[in-house]
């Protein structure tokens, strides 16, 4: 949609399991697509959404850790990702004075 307003020019369909609460959307280095991280279950992967409307392309296949952040190098040749695990331990302390 133009910044001045008006008609919507392009709608992209992302993967069906996109998590809108934790997704990050970035321009691809070539300017021809958007890069989107997704979360299916408790994992995250990167998808390339071409601006020409063609099918999304999966860029990563992380299965054992979560994707926290990603960034391309300034020359667009290297993709850096931060992955890891969420720790969800709980401890109940009773009778503490």
φ and ψ at 94, to 5 degrees? -120, 155
pLDDT (tens digit, 9 = 90+) per residue, 43-91? 678 989 999 888 888 898 888 888 888 999 999 999 998 888 877 788 8
In a domain, 58, yes or no: yes
Of 47, 40, 29, 32, nearest to 66 by C-alpha is: 40
SS3 20: coil
**Tokens (6 digits) for 14:** 């992302």
Domain that holds residue 52: 34-84
Structurally, the chain folds into a number of domains equal to: 1
Q: Is 49 exposed, middle or buried (0-12, 13-18, 19+ CB in 10 A)?
A: buried
User: For the chain, how many residues are written?
Assistant: 97
In a domain, 11, yes or no: no
**Tokens (6 digits) for 50:** 């071409």
In a domain, 15, yes or no: no
Q: How confident is the model at residue 40 (pLDDT cuts 50, 70, 90)?
A: low
């Amino acid at each position: 949609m133009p910044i001045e307003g008006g008609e919507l020019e392009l709608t992209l369909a992302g993967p069906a399991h996109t998590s809108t609460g934790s997704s990050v959307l970035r321009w691809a280095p070539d300017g021809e697509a958007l890069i989107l991280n997704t979360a299916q279950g408790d994992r995250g992967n990167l998808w390339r959404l071409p601006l020409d409307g063609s099918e999304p392309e999966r860029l990563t296949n992380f299965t054992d850790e979560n994707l926290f952040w990603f960034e391309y190098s300034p020359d667009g040749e290297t993709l850096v990702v931060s992955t890891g695990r969420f720790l969800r331990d709980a401890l109940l302390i009773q009778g503490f004075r």
